[in-house]
Amino acid sequence: MQTKRGIIVGAFGVVMALAFLANAVAAAPARADIRVYANDAVWASFDAADLKGGPEVSLDKIFIFPDNPGLIPVAEASPGDRDYNGGRWEVHAVSFTGMAPEQFTNDEVLLFHYALGHLTISGTLRTFECPLIKL
């Protein structure tokens, strides 16, 4: 179990780099090379800083696709949302099981497919902090 978790956490870095570069054409500050979908919009961000603890209620979920590195991660919240926690995230890996991989642009559709059994979603892989910047 620990080895699989290590592989997934290691793959997280690769997924973040590849997925975010896949959408590098959007304008953003020079250092904001990370891309995330939330609420049907693409957001930019900077490199992530790991968090050491904190209450779960202070974190939003971000979904990564380690088996499909061309897909951009999807967040459940973004700036302007009442429940947005300022860029504090818990990472969950998504695997496609009953459908072909597709790019989601919001968490509602992702969770809809999860409820239908088309996806599996892991427990929390890690927590980190990086703000979202409007493009």
Cross-strand pairs, 120: 95
pLDDT digits (tens, 9 = 90+) for 6-62: 666 555 554 454 444 444 444 556 677 889 999 999 999 887 788 886 788 899 999
pTM value is 0.77
pLDDT digits (tens, 9 = 90+) for 16-30: 544 444 444 445 566
pLDDT digits (tens, 9 = 90+) for 61-105: 999 999 999 999 999 999 999 999 999 999 999 999 989 999 999
Euclidean distance between CA atoms 112 and 91, whole angstroms: 18
β-strand pairing of 88-96 with 127-129: antiparallel
